[in-house]
Amino acid sequence: MHLLRSAVHFSRIMPLLALVASYASGLQGNTGGGAPNDDARLVLWYRQPAKDWMEALPVGNGRLAAMVFGKTDQERIQLNEETFWSGGPYDPSQPGGPEALPEIRRLIFAGEYLKAHNLFGRTIMGMPVEQMKYEPLADLLLTFPKDTNVTEYRRELDLDKAIVTVSYKVGDVLYTREVFSSAVDQVVVVRITADKPHSISFLANLHGVRNVQHSNYGTDYFQMDGDPPDGLVVRGRSSDYLGVRSQLRHVCRLKSLAEGGTIEVTGTDLTVSNADAVTLIFAAATNFVNYQDVSADPEARVKAYLANVKGKSYDQIKKDHIAEHQRLFRRLSIDLGETEAAKLPTDERIKNFSTQSDPQLAALYYQFGRYIMISSSRPGNYPANLQGKWNEDSNPWWDSKYTTNINLQMNYWIAESGNLAECVEPLIAMMKEIAEGPGATVARKHYGANGWVLHQNTDLWLACAPMDGPTWGTFSTGGAWLCTQLWDHYVYGGDEQYLKKIYPILKGSVEFFLSTLVQHPTRGWLVTCPSTSPENFPKREGNGRYFDEVTGGYLPGTSICAGSTIDMEILRALFDEYAKAAQILGVDKDLREKVLSMRSRLAPLQIGTNGQLQEWLEDWGSMEPQHRHLSLLWGLYPGDDITPMSKREIVEAARKSLIARGDGGCGWSQAWKMNLWARLLDGERALGAFRFLISQITFPDLFSRCGKAMQVDGTFGAGAGIAEMLVQSYGGEISLLPALPKEWAEGHVRGLRARGGFELEFSWKNQKLTSVTVRSLLGKACRVRYGKKVKEFPTQPTKTYTLNADLQLQ
């Protein structure tokens, strides 16, 4: 468990290299591409190169990410390293908050929202009021001889091997290009082969990325050079931003190895002529150690990566890469049935999806989500950010950082049930650092509170203060929400040592709210104050167009309030889970009792005059009724405060609210709707949300969109939605096929995990379960539901149990 982010980012990665040092065995390799795919159903493929970044195909090892365009005239491989962000260690926390809080609360309870908003803006916001950006690192450009006579073109991403392959013929020569990012060797590898000798000639350049937003020609952000006799190098630094001085330096090196032919390096050009095969190895690193320390030597890191891989054959690098990927990826297989539609290239299937039945695309999408998880969040890394780890833009949408009012949380929805629990480790490590450091500083300085707090965003430097202005920054339960996911990791895995490690994180979050919850003056309930329902403006007196002092722009109102529904739902879950953790560990009895007593005083769910669930304490409407955030339904999913077994009026109110949010929305919003409809046991509407997602807001490479930009949350959230349609586990029960749409009439799944420590394999035919096998990991009693049938049986650890369609043990 990588709970302690080790002192040196690099040292977290190096042990993997040591693992394979013994393979060093001469550099000549002969593996061409073109090896037949074992399972064509796990391949995204296209008949043409990517026109732009949104069509390129992603590879990643959690740290180094690349987008492969697959062009035949000039290939572009766009590169990222996870710790290359603008700025340097900084602390946006500010004094003055605790003195202002009583007045802010008084104003809110008096209905003087705008005044409360402005006072919060002047006294509690962090400075700078925005955060740092994830930046692109470099581009590898390969320029081939101009030839218009290209035939038999194919570009693919094999999810099972984690390799992008491009193949095409020029005249009668078949060229193949393979690209992958190896977690074992910590390098991106490009292999070019041809089926006729001496056929490979090209020019390679390695470019830094000029930050057009923040630099001018006089600013030296990077330096490109040749590294004779066979390499290229780029050294650069990140951007200053918002007055935070850039303190990150990076080094990127490319090494080339040709079989046959020649390599020549002149200036920044590396020219390969008449080779039989070429291997290009890309290594990169920064000086980032942790959020407070940037003292590492990127040059030494890169040299160590290259030294480790020196002498290792391409075949061996590739073999190790595939083995490491498959160790995780192959734990789960999914078959939802297949139609003729599945024979077409992926982009055409996406276009046809609204009119043609293509259940296999949902299975492919699910596995794409697992692939992206493995490629962007491995133990020792930072968590997957807004774009995973793939970003070409020096001024990316929402800084490609960590938004914590839905987006970062959604990134991890797929991991536990998708049998990728170790991919959550980066999130756990980040939470530990936040709870022990900047989160605690902000709790103390901004609220005079114990414990720690994280608002609606953070970045590489773990900024925790409210940002973006009071409309957004009043969301103080971002960290508490993430705590519920840390707890979930325990519920799935059952590791008590892990629970001990996260206990202080949960306790610190609880302590913050014990310090800051206040009694509502007229209702008597305990509420968060200030509070907000993320990004949604209530329709109430005073809201309209007004000038916002903090952002200097016009807004449709202020969102500040007390005790938003989502806050109360999250805190009910957090308090409950904290109490369970304390009980399991046999600690803090008094605190546990206090927390449970405060839990019972939190504002309850309320039903409004239209029969909908109220989003706020008051029965306000919304300025944007179809708002993309589904915050008020947190208790239905990801929480389990509302279930089909809850009071009928509450379930109906939740359904009404979900219907009122409409069928549109961006990628992550659709993904959330899929999960919500699945929890309401409505497989057809869940599939409807997926259909909208695929046909309206999915790029050809299966990533989804929010506004104009790619965001990786939709991929993970919709993947989780597919799993939720097949299996749900909460309340001590595993429910099989709870929201199966008609179109997925027949299928088979192996490897999905359920809460309580179970791994499942099951099949269905004609929409009916045929059999299920449960592997018990922890030896807990197992309760399985299929429709109205329920079976409970004791289990022993590592034993497997098979049940028939009537849930009879076999």
Residues of this chain that bind ligand FUC (CB under 6 A): 386, 398, 403, 407, 535, 628, 666, 706, 711
Nearest CB to ligand FUC, comparing residues 33 and 667? 667
Taking CA atoms, 705 is separated from 54, 357, 397, 432, 666, in Å, by 10, 23, 11, 30, 6
Nearer to ligand FUC, 44 or 560 (CB): 560
The encoded tokens of residue 432 equal: 């530990």
Point out the residue whose Cβ comes nearest to ligand FUC.
398
Residue (305 or 616) nearer to ligand FUC, CB? 616
Question: Which residue, 628 or 685, has its beta carbon nearer to ligand FUC?
Answer: 628
How far apart CA 598 and CA 581 sit, in angstroms, is 17
Indicate the residue among 472 and 575 with the shorter CB distance to ligand FUC.
Answer: 472
Give 483 or 666: the residue with its C-beta nearer to ligand FUC. Answer: 666
Token pair for 70: 């697959």
Q: Strands (DSSP E) along 471-596, which ranges?
A: 518-519, 526-527, 538-539, 546-548, 553-555
Locate tokens 């046809």: which residue?
A: 352
CA dihedral angle for residue 797, residue 327, residue 392, residue 438, rounded to 10 degrees: 40
Q: Which is nearer to ligand FUC, 294 or 386 (CB)?
A: 386
Is 123 or 407 the residue whose CB approaches ligand FUC more closely?
A: 407
Q: Which is nearer to ligand FUC, 407 or 728 (CB)?
A: 407
- CB of 711: closest distance to ligand FUC in angstroms? 6
* Strand order through the sheet with 747-754: 333-335, 747-754, 758-765, 768-776, 800-804
CA–CA dist 793, 779 (Å, integer): 11
Minimum CB separation from ligand FUC for residue 407, in Å? 5
Within 10 Å of residue 340's Cβ, how many Cβ atoms?
9
> Hey, CA dihedral for 180, 185, 190, 191, is it positive or negative?
negative
Closer of 229 and 625 to ligand FUC (Cβ)? 625
H/E run at residue 621: strand 621-622
Q: Are strands 269-275 and 262-266 parallel, antiparallel or unpaired?
A: antiparallel
Smallest distance, Å, CB 697 to ligand FUC?
Answer: 12
Please, what is the minimum distance in Å from the beta carbon of residue 748 to ligand FUC?
A: 35
Rounded least distance, CB 535 to ligand FUC, Å:
5
Burial class (CB in 10 A: 0-12, 13-18, 19+), 707: exposed
Of 628 and 679, the one with the shorter C-beta distance to ligand FUC is: 628
User: Parallel, antiparallel, or unpaired for β 782-786 and 789-793?
Assistant: antiparallel
Question: Judged by CB, which is closer to ligand FUC: 397, or 546?
Answer: 397
Contact assessment for residue 166 and residue 278, using Cβ atoms and an 8 Å cutoff: no
Q: What is the distance between the alpha carbons of residues 319 and 31, in angstroms, rounded to a whole number?
A: 11
> How buried is residue 775: exposed, middle or buried, by Cβ count under 10 Å (0-12/13-18/19+)?
middle
- β-pairing verdict for 553-555 and 546-548: antiparallel
Residue 284 and residue 181: Cα distance in Å, rounded? 12
Q: Which helix (H) or strand (E) holds 440?
A: helix 438-447
Nearer to ligand FUC (CB atom), residue 258 or residue 706 = 706
3-class SS at 321? helix
State both tokens at 534: 């993320």
How many residues in the chain? 810
Respond yes or no on whether the N-terminal peptide bond of residue 345 is cis (omega within 30° of 0). no
Nearer to ligand FUC, 233 or 630 (CB): 630
Helices (H), 517-661: 565-585, 589-599, 648-660
CA dist list (Å): 213 to 171, 239, 241, 298, 654? 43, 9, 10, 25, 44
